[in-house]
Amino acid sequence: MSDQVNLENSQEVEYVSKTVNVIMCDGGSGDLGHPAVYFKIDKKQEVICNYCNKKFIKKD
Ligand SMILES: [Zn+2]
């Protein structure tokens, strides 16, 4: 279990379809994993997971 936040490192970015309203992130597998969390992206262009700092960006 790590609370480290490494904004300096290359940030993971995932592009999602603009039809997606809710994003699920579980941080992937292994050490990067975290409990599944859901983020609403319906009114925003991007959302950052507050567990793993992964950035979800809506595609046009
Ligand atoms: Zn995450």
pLDDT per position as a tens digit, 38-57:
999 988 999 999 999 999 99
Domains within the chain, CATH numbers bracketed: 13-58 (2.60.260.40)
Residue 1, pLDDT above cutoff 60: no
Q: How far is the CA of 23 from the centre of ligand 1 (A)?
A: 10
Quick check: helix, strand or coil at residue 60? coil
Q: How far is the CA of 60 from the centre of ligand 1 (A)?
A: 22
Per-residue pLDDT of 7-29, as tens digits, reads 555 678 999 999 999 999 999 87
DSSP string for 9-45: SPPPEEEE-TT--EEEE---SGGG----EEEE-TT-S
Residues around ligand 1, an ion, CB closer than 5 A: 25, 27, 49, 51-52, 54
